[in-house]
């Protein structure tokens, strides 16, 4: 086979073009920090990267959901702490009012007024919201638990149903707390204390004794509800730690799949540059002068 000057020139140009392309690709990897910038570079890496990216996005969404879980549980616990304070103050007022012999009309009026304020506070607590959602209204999050028009607490099944938030694949955490009956019962106690205080009859001692016992019973209910919230908060913390581990693992896999090894890439680029310079040098020797060069 006869090798012509034209064939040598074409081979040299083809090799130079390939060398430029390789250096360009390495430079692009250093600029972007990614192994591939288009699917044609490496379809396998791109497909794996899409899968890892979806996993990272999913974990990030679950972490956002965990934030909402914590908001619901923390707000519920704070609200029930306020209910406990209402009951403690109601117990003090009932104890004072039970001493009917020492109570004046002014004292009874003052207790009735404060009981009225406690009742309004209880109604406000029952309608506690996180964002635009009522946290004590069960699945009826768009409606308040205390209906100001009917002046009563809602007790329907929908107001007792659970609200859950997904925090992992197939894992849901309950964030709602069934307190509709509890609020209704406490509201009834407030009414009774107010009524007993207003009567001032001689047998109020026994009546107030039972009333104080009922208040203690409602305090136990509040503590039980808060204990349940605390248990769910502990589980939420465990899920938060699990999600952090999942996020770290997913990001590590994505990085190993997509990100360049800078040390190796820089070394490859330097090597490619050296080969390219050698190619140019050898090509200059191979490309001997043609007849046209002598004719000039």
Which residue carries 């799949």 as its tokens?
Answer: 257
| Percent of the chain scoring above 90 in pLDDT | 40
pLDDT tens per residue across span 169-192: 889 999 999 999 999 999 999 988
SS3 sequence, 21-76?
A: HHHHHHHHHHHHCECCCCCCCCHHHHHHHHHHHHHHHHHHHHHHHHHHHHHHHHHH
Retrieve residue 275's tokens: 């080969």
Q: Is the dihedral of CA 230, 235, 241, 244 positive or negative?
A: negative
pLDDT tens per residue across span 244-272: 998 888 888 877 777 777 777 678 777 77
- What's the confidence (pLDDT) of residue 19? 72
Which residues constitute the domain of residue 196?
Answer: 51-255
Rounded to an integer, the average pLDDT of 119-127 is: 94
Query: 3-class SS at 155?
Result: coil
103 pLDDT exceeds 50? yes
Q: How many of the other CB atoms lie within 10 Å of CB of 132? A: 7
Residue 37 lies in a domain: no
How many domains would you assign to the chain?
1
Q: Are strands 129-130 and 146-147 parallel, antiparallel or unpaired?
A: unpaired
148 pLDDT exceeds 70? yes
pLDDT tens per residue across span 272-289: 777 777 777 766 666 655
41 pLDDT exceeds 80? no
Domain of residue 192, CATH code = 1.20.1330.10
Residue 189 lies in a domain: yes
- What's the confidence (pLDDT) of residue 183? 94
Residue 120 lies in a domain: yes
pLDDT tens per residue across span 80-94: 999 999 999 999 988
If residue 129 lies in a helix (H) or strand (E), which one and from where to where?
A: strand 129-130
- What's the confidence (pLDDT) of residue 202? 42
Longest Cα–Cα distance of the chain, Å, equals: 137
Q: Could you list the beta-strand ranges (E) of 145-202.
A: 146-147, 152-153, 164-168, 171-174
């Amino acid at each position: 086979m006869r090798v012509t000057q034209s064939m040598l020139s074409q081979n040299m140009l083809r090799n130079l073009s390939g060398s430029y392309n390789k250096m360009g690709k390495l430079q692009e990897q250093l600029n972007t920090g990614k192994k591939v910038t288009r699917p044609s570079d490496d379809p396998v890496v791109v497909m794996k990267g899409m899968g890892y990216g979806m996993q990272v996005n999913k974990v990030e969404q679950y972490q956002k959901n965990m934030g909402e879980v914590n908001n619901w549980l923390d707000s519920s616990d704070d609200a029930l702490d306020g209910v406990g304070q209402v009951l403690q103050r109601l117990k003090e007022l009932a104890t004072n009012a039970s001493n009917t012999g020492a109570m004046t009309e002014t004292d009874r009026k003052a207790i009735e007024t404060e009981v009225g304020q406690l009742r309004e506070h209880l109604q406000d607590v029952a309608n506690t919201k996180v964002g635009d959602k009522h946290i004590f209204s069960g699945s009826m999050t768009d409606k308040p638990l205390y209906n100001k028009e009917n002046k009563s607490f809602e007790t329907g099944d929908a107001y007792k149903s659970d609200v859950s938030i997904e925090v992992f694949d197939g894992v849901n955490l309950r964030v709602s707390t069934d307190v509709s009956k509890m609020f209704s019962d406490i509201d009834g106690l407030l009414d009774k204390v107010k009524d007993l205080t207003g009567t001032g009859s001689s047998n109020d001692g026994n009546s107030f004794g039972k009333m104080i016992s009922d208040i203690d019973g409602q305090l136990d209910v509040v503590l039980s509800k808060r204990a349940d919230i605390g248990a769910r908060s502990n589980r939420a913390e465990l899920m938060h730690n699990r999600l952090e581990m999942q996020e770290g693992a997913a990001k590590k896999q994505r990085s190993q799949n997509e990100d360049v090894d800078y040390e190796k890439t820089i070394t490859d680029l330097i090597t490619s540059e050296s080969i390219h310079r050698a190619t140019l040098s050898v090509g200059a020797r191979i490309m001997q002068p043609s007849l046209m060069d002598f004719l000039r």
